[in-house]
């Protein structure tokens, strides 16, 4: 189709300030234009928008709604549009409201009538839903990959510190000795579930809305399955009203992101505590810290603190999207344009945070002596003494009581359980023999817990290796 034969109608579209303006007698104010436009943020969907358009056009040509020549023109025009966007030469116009109309208008400028035929059997309503799903699918794949990298970084450090002993805490009080490797692998578990959640969420993201058109489908003989295949979707959305209107898939992603950030935030809180000179269990590399402008001695763990803080914005995006959806009647409403900025920000936040954490975890230096020192305080092996007495035949509750008396004695003397002599211990229970000292050591305590899920070095090595061996 030659461009010249279409100049008149082409100009008609190009000169109008808005694509629908034939029906309107009065222009919108600049403020309303800015208020209703989305191009400033949805232009980041541009390449997905074009990908969707090319698949739609290919299908229209297959079913005979447009000609092969139209399709060739559309492909040629879109190639040019892609170049302009990638070279940042593309002129984004607020007057054209959003990414879809901006690209369509430029296409029409470049190729004429074929460009105007592209929108046959389609609406921006199914178009935008498709764009977001294509974009989100790619973000999910990136996030899953980053979560797996983070798990591997944690497992690598865990393997190195499978036998490094630290105090395990409950209520932030020394409870029982654990290995640092075991502690790290707790986070690997959390991030593993986060990845599973994204894998599951992806299944519902990866369905094709195109073909729903504005809300009711289209009278053209479209082949939605062909479009789905071209775009790599697993399935097509089965109801046109639902396809254009629901954003539950985006809400699911935000919920999964909020949990990722929750886990990141818990880890951050520990990193902040551990690097505090008061605790001093680890050091994180200087590139993740800053100094103080007034106190020269300080090295502040800015990155974990900020990550902990950024959890709030992702939680906020989840609530914003839920609230956005809850009052909407079927089908598409302009409210849905508000889905994007929060969703984009959630994806950006988890991408940047996870990328930084992979590097930060790999750069942790462990101060094993400080960990050990802390584990030796607070009667961390008291439970082991109770378990020992149970194995000698005492009911657990009696053993618990006996050990409480022993702990009280230690407090009076200012010593640890392992510092009591055999005769002092035997005064609490006659069944105690000198094999008790192996039990009361930190090493004895952790190595005894070698069952699945336990803190023993041998178990930590198995679990860390399992993660490292996962492709």
Binding site for ligand ARG (CB under 6 A): 38, 42, 98, 124-125, 128, 332, 334, 336-337
CA angle 279, 285, 291 (to 5 degrees): 80
For ligand ARG, the closer CB: 42 or 139: 42
Look-up of token digits 């502690």: 183
Helix axes 124-160, 180-205, angle to 10 degrees: 160
Catalytic option among 2, 5, 292, 431:
292
Element (H, E) at 179: strand 173-179
The tokens of 379 are what? 């009667």
* Distance in Å, CB of 269 to ligand ARG, minimum: 37
**Closer CB to ligand ARG, residue 43 or residue 450?**
43
Residue pair 261/350 in contact by the 8 Å Cβ criterion: yes
Least Å distance, CB 104 to ligand ARG, is 12
Cβ proximity to ligand ARG: between 246 and 463 the closer is: 246
Strand, coil or helix: what is 164?
coil
Considering the complex, what minimum distance in angstroms separates the CB of residue 38 from ligand ARG?
A: 4
**Shorter beta-carbon distance to ligand ARG: residue 55 or 128:** 128
CA angle 170, 171, 175 (to 5 degrees): 35
CB-based contact 202:140 (threshold 8 Å): yes
Structure tokens at 298: 């300080």
| Secondary structure element (H or E) that encloses residue 446, with its range | helix 442-447
- For residues 198 and 243, which CB has a smaller minimum distance to ligand ARG in the complex? 243
In degrees, to the nearest 5, what angle opens at C-alpha 171 toward C-alphas 167 and 174? 25
* DSSP for residue 365: E
The whole-angstrom distance between residue 227's C-alpha and the CA centroid of its chain comes to 28
Closer residue to ligand ARG, CB minimum distance, 98 or 139: 98
171 belongs to the catalytic site:
yes
Distance CA 272, CA 150 (A): 18
Closest C-alpha to 91, from 100, 102, 104: 102
Distance of closest approach, residue 129 Cβ to ligand ARG, in angstroms: 8
Parallel, antiparallel, or unpaired: how do β-strands 173-179 and 365-366 relate? Answer: unpaired
Shortest distance in whole angstroms from residue 169 CB to ligand ARG: 47
CB of 39 to ligand ARG, least distance (A): 8
Q: Which is nearer to ligand ARG, 245 or 455 (CB)?
A: 245
CA distance 258 to 254: 6
Q: Does residue 292 have an active-site annotation?
A: yes
439 and 381 in contact (C-beta within 8 Å)? yes
Sequence-distant (≥ 6) Cβ neighbours of residue 453 within 8 angstroms: 459
Q: Tokens 């297959």 identify what position?
A: 62
Q: Which two tokens stand for residue 75?
A: 């492909």
Nearer to ligand ARG, 107 or 403 (CB): 107
Which of 171, 219, 293, 423 is labelled catalytic? 171
Cβ(425)–Cβ(434) under 8 Å? no
> DSSP states of 54-67 as a string?
HHHHHHHHHTTSS-
- Smallest distance from ligand ARG to CB 180, Å: 48
> In whole angstroms, how close is the CB of 339 to ligand ARG at the nearest point?
7
Residues annotated as catalytic are 171, 292
């Amino acid at each position: 189709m030659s461009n010249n034969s279409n100049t008149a109608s082409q100009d008609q579209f190009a000169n109008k300030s808005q694509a629908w303006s034939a029906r309107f007698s009065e222009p919108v104010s600049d403020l309303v234009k800015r208020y209703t436009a989305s191009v400033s943020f949805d232009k980041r969907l541009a390449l997905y928008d074009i990908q969707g358009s090319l698949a739609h056009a290919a299908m229209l040509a297959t079913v005979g709604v447009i000609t092969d020549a139209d399709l060739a023109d559309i492909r040629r025009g879109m190639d040019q549009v892609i170049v302009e966007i990638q070279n940042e030469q593309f002129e984004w116009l607020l007057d054209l409201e959003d990414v879809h109309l901006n690209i369509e208008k430029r296409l029409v400028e470049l190729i004429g009538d074929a460009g105007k035929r592209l929108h046959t059997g389609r609406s921006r309503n199914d178009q935008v839903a498709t764009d977001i799903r294509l974009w989100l699918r790619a973000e999910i794949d990136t996030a899953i990959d980053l979560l797996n990298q983070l798990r591997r970084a944690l497992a690598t450090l865990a393997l190195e510190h499978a036998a490094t002993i630290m105090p395990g805490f409950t209520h932030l009080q020394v409870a029982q000795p654990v290995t640092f490797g075991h502690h790290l692998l707790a986070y690997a578990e959390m991030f593993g579930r986060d990845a599973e959640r994204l894998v599951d969420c992806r299944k519902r993201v990866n369905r094709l809305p195109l073909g729903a058109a504005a809300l009711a489908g289209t009278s053209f003989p479209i082949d939605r399955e062909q479009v789905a295949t071209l775009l790599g979707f697993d399935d097509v959305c089965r109801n046109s009203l639902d396809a254009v209107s629901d954003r539950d898939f985006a809400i699911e992603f935000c919920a999964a992101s909020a949990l990722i950030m929750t886990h990141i935030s818990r880890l951050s809180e520990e990193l902040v505590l551990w690097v505090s000179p008061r605790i001093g269990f680890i050091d994180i590399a200087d590139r993740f810290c800053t100094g103080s402008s007034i106190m020269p001695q300080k090295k502040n763990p800015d990155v974990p603190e900020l990550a902990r803080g950024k959890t709030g914005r992702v939680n906020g995006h989840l609530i914003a999207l839920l609230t956005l959806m809850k009052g909407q009647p079927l089908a598409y409403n302009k409210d849905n344009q508000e889905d994007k900025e929060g969703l984009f920000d959630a994806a950006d936040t988890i991408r940047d945070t996870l990328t930084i954490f992979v590097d930060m975890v790999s750069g942790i230096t462990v101060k094993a002596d400080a960990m050990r020192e802390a584990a030796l305080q607070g009667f961390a092996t008291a439970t082991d003494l109770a378990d020992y007495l149970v194995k000698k035949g005492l009911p657990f509750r009696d053993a618990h009581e006996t050990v409480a008396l022993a702990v009280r004695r230690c407090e009076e003397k200012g010593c640890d359980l392992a510092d009591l002599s055999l005769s002092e211990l035997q005064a609490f229970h006659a069944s105690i023999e000198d094999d008790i000292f192996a039990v009361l050591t930190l090493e004895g305590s952790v190595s005894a817990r070698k069952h699945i899920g336990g803190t023993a070095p041998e178990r930590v090595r198995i679990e860390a290796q399992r993660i490292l061996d996962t492709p």
